[in-house]
Amino acid sequence: MNRRSGVARLLLRYVVALRGVLALTATVVVVLAFFASAAPVALANLLTDAQRHALVEISPAARDLVDEQQITPPPELVADDWRGLRDRLEKTRAELPPLLRSVTEPAAFTLTASTRKTAEKIGGPMLPDCYVNLTLSPDLPRHVTMVEGTLPRPPAGERATADLILTRAAAEEARWRVGDVRVLTGGGLPDRRYRLSGTYEAVAPQGPFWRQISGGIAPVVTTTGGRWTVAAAGWVSAENLHGTGPASVERSHTALKLWYPATPERLTAAEGAALVDELSAFTRTAVELAPESEVEVPGEGFMRVPAGIATFSTNTTGVLREADDTAVSLTSLTALLASAPVAAALCVLVLSTGLVRSRSGTLLALARARGASATQLAAAGAVVGLIVGLPAAALGAAVAAAVHGAVPWWPAVLCGLLPAVTAALAATPAGERGPRVPRVAVELAVILLAVASVVAVSQRGLGTQTGGVDPLLIAAPVLVCLAGAVLARRLLPMLARRVAAVQRRRTGLVGLLGAARTRDDRVSPAAVVSLVAALGAATFAGCAVATLDAGRAATAAEAAGADLRVSGSSLDPERVAELSRLADVRASVTLTDGSDVSVRSGTTAYATRVLTDALALEDVQRDVPGAVPGVDRLAAPIDGRVPVVVSQALADSLEGERDVTVDRVPSRVVAVGPARLAGVPDQLWVLADRDALGDERPEYDPVLSVLSSTTGAPPPALARRAARLFPDATVTTPAREETVLAENPVVAGVDVVAGVAAAMAALLVGVTVVMALVAGAASRTRDLAVVRALGLAARRARVLPLWEVGLLVVVAGAVGAVVGVVLPLLLLGAIDLHPFTGGDARPPTTFPVLWLALVAVGALLVTVAGALLAAEGSARRELTSSLRMMGE
């Protein structure tokens, strides 16, 4: 009983004597446990948000599983029996893998005849050209609300007048009143009379039924050469196929469209890879829609109808694969940003081990005198570490759970065990810890490993085949930080000797004493590593964010194409001239034409032809990132050929040929431009100077885009004025494009990760400075007692901690800044930065001067604050007490 109480008293004295160090250790464990518990959940949530953002960016129609094919309607459809098709589609969905089935809805389908045009009525009023896609679906009545008239009735025969319905907007645009009859012509079918039996509005227009039907919700209205054109879906009765025309059984005139509405945006990023596998397998599978059969064609006998086979496709697979690439890049960058702060935190725990060892020497000697073995001492230290670490880790995990909900438990447990390991090492006698490794050997090994890791990164890049965290992501920056710490430990005594030499020529003792204490190598290696890693991490975080910001700015400027861009299908020339006369507009140029033309060399490709004033375009795009190259060579023919600039995609199609014909005009490719031309949606384009075409210049030359440069940064008021001039066009500026890019969750996610890394680095710098001062408190107090006994004023003596730790922070800060600058140069190049910048070009590494200055000022403030606290602690000790202890 007495022995147990004696051990308990020793442990209690151990804890009380080391309460300050253990409190700092517990603080570090709380922070580590919080971030270790919250990081996996926060990263998973961020990846899910990024995946959902990518899926939402594409249209809902592109997310669906779709098949569209020209078919010969099987007898069951001709007989108005849709049950077999419904049953087979539902059976197919029921057999889908669980994850894919959970994101799909029951199939929808339509049957559509060739597009037909309303015939002009001789002697009648001028009406818009109306193009009607004759469509039928047995599900239509559930998805429309009749505004006027009735649903279409089935026609009496294949050539009888048939009913159809249009949206109210389509009927108004086409000037087709309910009850009127018009003749539809074209589409390879005989002319036929159709009566507008009613108009409708779509029920749930954003729902899964309507998103695959062109012109089913609103008409597509265009104006070409002064001619008004309306395109819309016209619904006929699904009770038989007579409404689509007499040739419905011909494969060339009837299209069957089927789709499974899909909502993959509901899934998490962790489920994305599995869904890709299931989608890939399903899209390779042929689905039977109808068995092979025969149908009787009046006057022609029986016709064999082949089996209906569907092969579905979707854009979701490609988007999810891109999202997976984004996840790899984001995980890689997160690991790079987090590795150095984590290394600094571990060094703080190692530093606490040294403090525990130095502060508990008397207690450990007493325990050994009472017969405690090395194992028992280590076990006692581990118990104290558990007492400190586990509650601190539990607190950190609890805070993480309060912020993020459910969090994994094992990271907090690992963090809670770290103090037990360090405390056990601190309690183990020095002779029991094994032989010491020479310092030079350790430093040489660290430098060699750092070089090897950097070489490995540059040769093979980062990431693993399974998308997990590459060990190099953690090893490379940590090893570079350790190599920097090796340099700092070599530089620190050299600087201290130089400062000591300068201080000897002065009358004060404090500076000389502070330099001497640093020169005597009393600074813990763990403190040097911690400061280098923390300050390097803060610098690296700022450089990474600045580099990505610069990349987005360049991508935005390239997408805008100029300080201000207005894009549309056919812009009003008078308003274009009015835009050019606005006060803030310095110069403007138009991009015109937009015709789909043939480009021939050894091969033939089709591209969008864009015409411009080459000299004006060069002026407007001066100093604009992504400006079209070779514009200065477009103004005059070369060897009798019209000079042109082509897109990269078109250049690849032409296989590098320079002499080509564009719409039968001999031309020469003088440059290859960017993938996108401002305001031109196609990736295949060819740009020429309109005057260089001479007589080949097209008569109809609509304005597609207006690019304007401004006298300064484009003011928001100018964009609003342009939007009022062109209400139906797209108005954008580099600032607006950058805002769109910044809406991607990964952008904000990287900023948060970098901010957290910098904040954690600042905290660790403060803790390291305090611990370094605490570690030297006893010897510093003794030195101060001597110099104060010699007559040094107490006010001047309080500056000693600042001298002592100041030299350490200066050297470690300088080396850490170099490490923080070197890390992005060495490692950012191995990560695909496209998800963060939106562009294909890799941005140059940017070094934010203001951020570097903030890091330096922050380190200085933390150092001064820690030194003042240490000075106050030393001042509370009486001079006589210190001298008495030294005498004893």
Convert the pLDDT of each residue in 598-624 to its tens digit.
998 878 889 999 999 999 999 998 888
Distance CA 812, CA 819 (A): 10
More confident position, 224 or 739: 739
* Mean pLDDT computed over 821-844: 87
Going by pLDDT thresholds of 50, 70 and 90, the confidence category of residue 886 is very low
Across 127-136, 368-377, 559-568, least confident range: 368-377
Q: What percent of the chain has pLDDT over 90?
A: 26
What is the predicted pLDDT for the residue at 509?
Answer: 58
Q: Quick one: average pLDDT of 773-782? A: 65
H or E stretch covering 340: helix 316-359
Residue 543 — pLDDT band, cuts 50, 70, 90? very high
| Residue 878 pLDDT > 50 | no
End-to-end CA distance of the chain: 35
Q: For residues 326 and 57, what is the distance between their CA atoms, to the nearest angstrom?
A: 15
Interval 289-337: pLDDT, tens: 777 766 665 566 666 666 778 899 999 999 999 999 899 889 888 888 9
Number of H helices, E strands in the chain: 28, 24
Among the listed residues 850, 584, 575, 869, the one whose alpha carbon sits nearest the alpha carbon of residue 726 = 575
pLDDT confidence bin for 427, thresholds 50/70/90: low
Q: How many residues does the chain have?
A: 888
Q: What is the pLDDT of residue 262?
A: 93
The mean-pLDDT minimum among 132-136, 578-582, 785-789 falls in 785-789
Given a cut of 50, is residue 565 above it in pLDDT?
yes
Mean pLDDT of 179-187: 89
Question: Would you call 214 helix, strand, or coil by DSSP?
Answer: coil
- Residue 186 near residue 140, CB atoms below 8 Å: no
**The pLDDT of residue 781:** 61
* Ramachandran bin of 633, using left for φ above 0, alpha for ψ from -120 to 50, beta for the remaining angles: alpha
Shortest CA distance to 28 belongs to which of 819, 859, 775, 761?
761
What pLDDT band is residue 52 in, cutting at 50, 70 and 90?
very high
Q: Where is average pLDDT lowest: 49-53, 103-107, 512-516, 831-835?
A: 512-516
Give the pLDDT score at 121.
Answer: 67
Q: In a 3-state reduction of DSSP, which class is residue 146?
A: strand
Check residue 511 and give its pLDDT: 56
What pLDDT sits at residue 166?
A: 94
Instruction: Report residue 152's pLDDT band, with 50, 70 and 90 as the boundaries.
Output: very high
Q: Which residue has the tokens 């201000």?
A: 564
Task: List the beta strands (DSSP E) in 601-742.
Answer: 604-612, 642-646, 659-662, 665-672, 685-689, 703-710, 730-732
Residue 381 has pLDDT above 60, yes or no: yes
What span, in angstroms and rounded, lies between the C-alpha atoms of 130 and 184?
9
Q: Quick: pLDDT tens for 641-655.
A: 999 999 988 988 888
pLDDT score of 247 more than 60: no
Which carries the bigger pLDDT value, residue 834 or residue 73?
834
Min mean pLDDT across 382-386, 404-408, 689-693 is at 382-386
* Confidence check: pLDDT of 448 > 60: yes
pLDDT, tens digit, for every residue of 483-503? 999 998 888 888 777 776 666
Q: In whole angstroms, what is the distance from residue 614 CA to residue 638 CA?
A: 15
Give yes or no for residue 225 having a pLDDT over 60: no
Given a contact cutoff of 8 angstroms between Cβ atoms, the answer to whether 259 and 80 are in contact is no
Q: What is the mean pLDDT of residues 618-639?
A: 88
User: What pLDDT score does 433 carry?
Assistant: 54
In this prediction, residue 502 carries a pLDDT of 67
C-alpha separations of 98 from 262, 263, 268 in Å: 14, 14, 15
At 13, the pLDDT band (50, 70, 90 cuts) reads low
Is the model's pLDDT at 585 over the cut of 70?
yes
Q: Name the more confident of 335 and 790.
A: 335
Q: Which of 326, 323, 406 is nearest to 834 (CA)?
A: 326
Q: Which residue has the higher pLDDT, 466 or 621?
A: 621
Q: What is the DSSP letter of 584?
A: T
pLDDT of 779 reads 61
Asked if the model's pLDDT at residue 842 lies above 50, the reply is yes
pLDDT: is 661 or 386 the higher one?
Answer: 661
CA angle 110, 112, 117 (to 5 degrees): 145
Q: What is the pLDDT of residue 82?
A: 82
- Return the minimum-mean-pLDDT range out of 607-616, 746-755, 832-841: 832-841
pLDDT(359) > 70? no
CB neighbours of 814 closer than 8 A, spacing ≥ 6?
Answer: none
Mean pLDDT of the chain: 82
Look up tokens 């861009």; give the residue.
565
pLDDT at 887: 44
